Amino acid sequence: MKTHSLLSLTVTLLGFLSQCLTRLTPRVSFPMGSPGRHLTRFNSHDVSNTTTLLLSEGGDMLYVGARDALLALDVSHKDAIILKTKRDWSPSDKDVEQCSMKGKKMADCPNFIRVLQYLNASHIYACGTFAFSPRCTYVDSETLSMSINPDEGRGRCPYDPYQRNTAIIVDGELYTGTVADYRGNRPVISRHLSEGRRVDLKLDDTLGWLEDPTFISSSFIPDEEKIYFFFSEVGREYDFINKFIVSRVSQICMSDIGGQRTLQRRWTTFAKAQLLCQADNELPYNVIQDIDTLPPAKGASADDTLFYGIFTSQWSVNSGQSAVCSFRLSDIKSVFSGNYKVLNRDTLQWSTRVQEKVANPGECGLHNASDNALRFVKENFLTDDSVRPVGRSLTMVSAEHKYSHLTVQRIQAANSRDYTVLFLLTESGYLHKAVLLPSGAHIIEEVKVFAQTQPIKSLKLSIPKVNTERAIYSMCPV
Ligand SMILES: *[C@@H]1O[C@H](CO)[C@@H](O)[C@H](O)[C@H]1NC(C)=O
Ligand SMILES: *[C@@H]1O[C@H](CO)[C@@H](O)[C@H](O)[C@H]1NC(C)=O
Ligand SMILES: *[C@@H]1O[C@H](CO)[C@@H](O)[C@H](O)[C@H]1NC(C)=O
């Protein structure tokens, strides 16, 4: 019988750090079940597809969105993960029957929970695919009881459980990137749960603002009052290569309320830029796999916020390899405030023709700009420049490992210096801990977390007390 697990791993912090590390091979390797690396496992035969994780602020409680169920797990204990509450949330037999009559596989017709976000101090907002008819509901975070009348989930959650999405709630509003139709070919970035003058917004869909994207993540930067979305998509500006994938960062302003005539109920502040994870004169690692935000150190400017991403390559020369690149918020901001490419509406080809700037695309507060300015914004949303990585170089490259997930932390070591530590999961079930030193990235530890190769769906890191970290994963068997 297949088991689906949630694992929690306690590892010590920077215990092996020394300045003379030089190689990208792990300094210490821990096989499964090593006494020094305490692995706690939660298994339940009736819980599966535990893809969506939400950690409480204190890191004591882990909410898990699974197939047809929502769980609250107490993860505050060192030796055990304790199930506190479990609620079923499944479509009716009739819903499932309709789903399968429409030609979908029975196995894909349950409700796969794909959005799990804190709405306020007492409630979580959850959305699931619900037999290819997505729904959302308010969940009491103590009891997990759900609202009686669920919301329609269109535009908030994918229909197809294999499609990736991203969602974030800020000030009670839900910002999402997902496909908004049954067939899966209408991608949209939108805002929901807005009230009063703050109307729900979405992308204008007359021009291809998104080109077959795979959504990876979204991040709220309070000082900017902006939400950034990370995804990969087909790079139409490269018309010389068939289906060239590019990685993107896009932005929207929270203050946006759409235009008055042009761009009514549509974003006036959407802009996108290429994220380039590439060393000079080499092929780019063009496909973003995961990204995490590292807030600035205490006292530093918000512009020093960093985004660490894992990238793989579309080309066979680099297949099986992955790279980590970091991007600085100030670089992203300067690309968004620079020049934009011009889209020829007849041929849908991009060019970099110099044009008179009628408005500044990506600028916040354009909602009562003139129609002329908004038309300009509507057609100029792709930046001319790409965002280059910090130091114009790769943070780390692995020739042997294909990394799929990462989290990043700034950690104070015993010598009271700050270090940036990356936790990277490999596709073959290893956790790598890498510390970034001036001399480069050094993998200081490797822990085998699964006996066999396992596709891992999510990774969360919580730091319950000084000098201990716990990485929590959710995984599904092959
Ligand atoms: C949180 O939101 C829910 C749903 O709108 C509402 O019923 C509840 O009263 C809110 N709780 C708080 C603490 O604001
Ligand atoms: C759910 O888990 C099963 C068993 O691991 C897997 O075959 C299936 O692809 C998963 N479904 C989704 C939508 O991820
Ligand atoms: C924009 O519109 C709002 C209300 O619609 C108004 O209060 C504000 O003065 C306007 N700003 C400008 C610069 O016209």
pLDDT of residue 10: 55
pLDDT of residue 462: 65
Dist. CA 185–CA 177, nearest whole Å: 13
pLDDT of residue 234: 93
Report CA(371)–ligand 3 centroid distance (Å): 14
Closest atom, ligand 1, to C-alpha of 121 = 13
Task: Record the pTM.
Answer: 0.91
Residue whose CA is at the smallest distance from ligand 2 atom 7: 478
Judge contact between 364 and 273, C-beta under 8 A.
no
Report CA(74)–ligand 2 centroid distance (Å): 25
Does any ligand 2 atom lie closer than 6 A to the CB of residue 162?
yes
Q: Is 415 left (phi over 0), alpha (psi -120 to 50) or beta?
A: alpha
Does any ligand 2 atom lie closer than 6 A to the CB of residue 137?
no
Residue partners of 192: CB distance under 8 A and separation at least 6? 155, 156, 173, 174, 176, 200
**10-residue stretch averages of pLDDT, the chain, 478 residues long:** 55 37 53 63 83 88 94 87 95 96 96 97 97 98 95 97 97 97 92 95 85 96 97 88 90 96 95 94 92 94 97 86 96 96 82 82 91 92 96 92 91 81 87 90 84 66 51 46
All domains in the chain, ordered by first residue: 54-401 (2.130.10.10)
Q: How far is residue 369 from each of residues 114, 150, 266, 357, measured CA to CA in Å?
A: 36, 37, 14, 14
pLDDT of residue 23: 42
pLDDT of residue 12: 42
**DSSP assignment of 16-61:** T--TT---SS-SEEE-TT-TTSEEEEEE-TT-----EEEE-TTSSE
Alpha carbon 384 to its chain's center:
24
Closest atom, ligand 2, to C-alpha of 478 = 5
Dist. CA 424–CA 309, nearest whole Å: 10
Does any ligand 2 atom lie closer than 6 A to the CB of residue 49?
yes
pLDDT of residue 457: 67
Residue partners of 372: CB distance under 8 A and separation at least 6? 358
Rg (CA), the chain: 22
Report CA(318)–ligand 2 centroid distance (Å): 28
Structure tokens at 40: 């706690």
Residue partners of 100: CB distance under 8 A and separation at least 6? 106, 109
Judge contact between 319 and 287, C-beta under 8 A.
no
Judge contact between 456 and 447, C-beta under 8 A.
no
Dist. CA 323–CA 248, nearest whole Å: 16
| Token pair 């910002």: residue | 175
Does any ligand 2 atom lie closer than 6 A to the CB of residue 240?
no
Does any ligand 2 atom lie closer than 6 A to the CB of residue 474?
no
Does any ligand 2 atom lie closer than 6 A to the CB of residue 477?
yes
pLDDT of residue 171: 97
Give the ligand whose atoms come closest to the C-alpha of residue 195: 1
